[in-house]
Chain A
Amino acid sequence: MSDQLPASSFNLQCPIPISDYPVITLAHGGGGRLTQMLIDRLFVPAFGPQPGGGHDGAMLTLPSPATTGGDQGEFRLAFSTDSFVVSPRFFPGGDIGSLAVHGTVNDLAMCGARPLALSVAFILEEGLSMDELWRIVRSLSRAAQDTGVSVVTGDTKVVERGKGDGLYINTSGIGVIPPGIAIAPSRARPSDLVLINGPIAQHGIAIMSVREGLAFETTIESDSAPLYDLVSGVLAAAGEQVHVLRDPTRGGLSSTLNEIAVQAKVGIHLNESSIPINEEVRGACEILGLDPLYVANEGKCLVIVAREAGERVLAALRSHPLGRESAIIGEVVADHPGRVVMRSRIGGQRIVDMLSGEQLPRIC
């Protein structure tokens, strides 16, 4: 357990030079390069590296309790936390309550873990309507039931009017990692295949379609969904040949793939025309000048598997209701380690970089 203690000694000086960023900007929470900088240069020096290494959740190896027989050795837990501040709180395809369950259980699922239990903490702003809170709590409870996870502990705080945006939710979750599963971003190997379980960028565009000042008419719904059931099918089909699982949430597909490329010291090659995307989402991105590769997902799972297991995993994904439109979108290569390169629709090549700051709609 000693490797979980802070790696560096106590440091009085802030490791991010104040002159660079005297205050937090929204981009520090955008899931791109500045978020990564905050983690690498401020949180990791303070808390030490995550057990299991830069993943959606921590993997903890615990000695088996004596009651289970002692000589079985150890068992593994996944532990993750996430906070939910989405605005508006109700959006096409979901709401902050269901999202608070899906976000955390998916982080556990990406460790290969079966979600067991959740904590839920509410920060409520004075004046929030009781009816709205009840709708959110019911939605959260239904999402937990559908996922087979129990809400076992919680907390409530109320802040003065004007000190919070109505309601924030934090959930933390634990799950058990079955034996024979070895998921880690660093396990991506050259020749592995990269798969995704369906069309990208739906959540981000659904949220944008109902934001004040931008509202546009669309039938696009968030893809927010619990992914463990889908993941368990993938693990049953390919076991240890499943090398990496990640859900490309904030920062989108490109930020997640860049993180994997850096952590595994490999290159990733994508094929633009293989990446599933819904026509309406593509249209919205074209109009707003957004790159769908950087738009958030909440029900998508990137699967990196040994090449020989690729077709088996694709079949497993497609047999699940959340994976009907799954596709092989690229491969892991030994060239250009740390970089993601994409073949464009017309056959050219470009580097797909990590998002820096927020993605802002263009002038024209």
Chain B
Amino acid sequence: MRFVDEYRNEADARKFLAAIERTVTRPWTIMEICGGQTHTLIKSGIDRMLPPDITLVHGPGCPVCVTPLELIDKAIAIAHRPEVILTSFGDMLRVPGSATDLLGVRAQGGDVRMVYSPLDAVKLAEKHPDRQVVFFAVGFETTAPGNAMAVYQAQQLGLSNFSILCSHVLVPPAMEAILGAPDNQVQGFLAAGHVCTVMGYWEYDPIAAQYRVPIVVTGFEPLDLLQGIYMTIQALEEGRWGVENQYARLVTRAGNLPAQRLLSQVFEVCDRGWRGIGTIPHSGYRLRPEFAAFDAEQRFGVEDVRAEESPLCIAGQILRGLKKPHECSAFGHQCTPEHPLGAPMVSSEGACAAYYSYGRAE
């Protein structure tokens, strides 16, 4: 398949692996930000093809994984209401809340539907004026423009039966939280290519300078990742820091300006809780006051829902790269994809699920 096979080619992969091997002289720890990157690394076996001196740690870039438990509980509380159609992307449906998950709510009679675009949820609201349609708006900068557009369209259409449960998070503050932690081990980053298609990469310059780390904007195909790792290792070995762009076929320095304009029109930056990490200042989006009518938390009065996470789950340490999934005592025993204790075991992008599905248990 064109534009895919070119980036999954064994001969080129071998060349990059050989170049990485020639370049590396001592141990390095690199974090890939995005869960999609984690999956490619493990699905294609790259993690086991790299020289042993390179340690990859799996970052917090899985939107499902970092959505706080209490937000899932809020979604579940809303989904139980008879007038509500709760819509969500597929992989949010299996994330465990305190007592059940959204698929469980559906099995008990709740109207929970999977959509492929937030705009489909707006259409649903138009089609069912007698029902309240709520979209569970999670994700990083990648999904935020689509969700902002849904709210904008609902406003233009004058829909009073559409709202979003908003839990948007932002990458750069999370990187700063990781780098600023006293136990940080990360020496270089593969930045999330898709986030940068929207936001560009100018935001990363101050981070690279302040913490003296190389940050390479990296794509999602096996060869993208190998090249991103190679570029990061070259910079580390030469003692360079700064931002480089491996994913130049899609990412520009400025990013997608119309999308950014829409984001600042609909959302404003706020402090946000991250599952397993805690609250990070200025790390998320909430609706601007002029769009408050579309805020499901206010509409359904669930602002005060609180939740306790399982004490066994070490998702926070995994999302900060301090531990690998198989180092968790619950991994594969109390915590499996059928019985996840934490979100990283649920989402197809979660590091724990990746380790479990692709046999990194041993």
Residues of chain A touching chain B, judged by Cβ–Cβ distance below 8 Å, are: 20, 23-27, 33-34, 37, 213-214, 279, 282-283, 286, 288-289, 339, 341, 344-351, 353, 356-357, 360-364
Contacts and interface: CB of A to CB of B under 8 A. Distances in A.
21 contacts: A20-B339, A23-B108, A24-B107, A26-B107, A213-B116, A344-B44, A345-B9, A345-B222, A346-B45, A347-B45, A350-B42, A350-B45, A351-B359, A356-B338, A357-B94, A362-B36, A362-B91, A362-B347, A362-B348, A363-B349, A364-B194
B115 A345 contact: no
Nearest to B358: A350
A286 B142 CA distance: 17
Contact of B10 (A288, A345, A351): A345
B297 to A, nearest CB: 20
Contact of A348 (B44, B143, B223, B356): B44
A347 B338 contact: no
B41 to A, nearest CB: 9
A362 B61 CA distance: 13
- In the A-B complex, the 3 residue pairs with the smallest Cβ-Cβ separation, listed nearest first, are A348-B45, A351-B359, A360-B90
Interface string B91-118: 1111000000001100110000111100
B64 interface: yes
A210 to B, nearest CB: 14
A363 B48 contact: no
Nearest to B140: A364
Instruction: From A37, A213, A363, name the one whose CB has the most chain B CB atoms within 10 angstroms.
Output: A363
A361 B114 contact: yes
Nearest to A341: B359
A361 B116 contact: yes
A350 B113 contact: no
A346 B10 contact: yes
A26 B102 CA distance: 12
A345 B4 CA distance: 11
B139 interface: yes
Contact of A353 (B44, B194, B359): B359
A276 to B, nearest CB: 13
A357 B338 contact: yes
A363 B359 contact: no
B120 interface: yes
Contacts of B42: 350
Given A289-B348, A348-B46, A363-B89, A214 B222 contact: no
B181 interface: no
B338 A360 contact: no
A349 B45 contact: yes
Interface string B248-292: 000000000000000000000000000000000000000000000
B64 A363 contact: yes
A176 B13 CA distance: 51
Q: Which of B13, B48, B107 has the most CB of A within 10 A?
A: B107
Contacts of B115: 213
Contacts of B48: 348-349
Contact of B43 (A283, A339, A350): A350
A347 B14 contact: yes
A20 B100 CA distance: 11
Contacts of B140: 364
A286 to B, nearest CB: 6
Nearest to A24: B107
A77 B144 CA distance: 59
B103 A347 contact: no
B214 interface: no
Grouping DSSP codes into helix (H, G, I), strand (E, B) and loop, the A interface class, with mixed when no group exceeds half, is loop
B132 interface: no
A345 B48 CA distance: 14
A131 to B, nearest CB: 26
Nearest to B44: A344
Contacts of B139: 363-364
Contact of A282 (B4, B45, B338): B4
Given A345-B9, A364-B142, 10 more contacts: A24-B107, A25-B104, A344-B45, A346-B8, A347-B10, A356-B338, A357-B94, A357-B337, A360-B114, A363-B92
Contacts of A356: 336-338
A353 B356 contact: yes
Contacts of A357: 94, 337-338
B63 interface: yes
Contacts of B114: 213, 360-361
B361 to A, nearest CB: 9
A27 B89 contact: no
Contacts of A23: 104, 107-108
B24 to A, nearest CB: 18
B1 interface: yes
Kindly name the residue among B8, B223, B348 whose own CB sees the greatest number of chain A CB atoms within 10 A: B348
B357 interface: yes
Interface string B1-38: 10011001110011000000000000000000000100
Contact of A339 (B4, B222, B359): B359
Contacts of B93: 360
A279 B1 CA distance: 6
A24 B8 CA distance: 40
B312 interface: no
Contacts of B13: 346-347
Contacts of A339: 359
A357 B359 CA distance: 17
Nearest to A26: B103
Contacts of B190: none
Contacts of A346: 8-10, 13, 44-46, 49, 222-223
A68 to B, nearest CB: 50
Contacts of A279: 1
B71 interface: no
B191 interface: no
A345 B338 contact: no
B134 interface: no
B49 A213 contact: no
Interface in B35-81: 36, 42-46, 48-49, 63-64
B64 A347 contact: no
Contacts of A364: 36, 63, 139-140, 142-143, 194
B166 interface: no
A199 B164 CA distance: 41
A288 B43 CA distance: 17
A27 B45 CA distance: 28
B338 A34 contact: yes
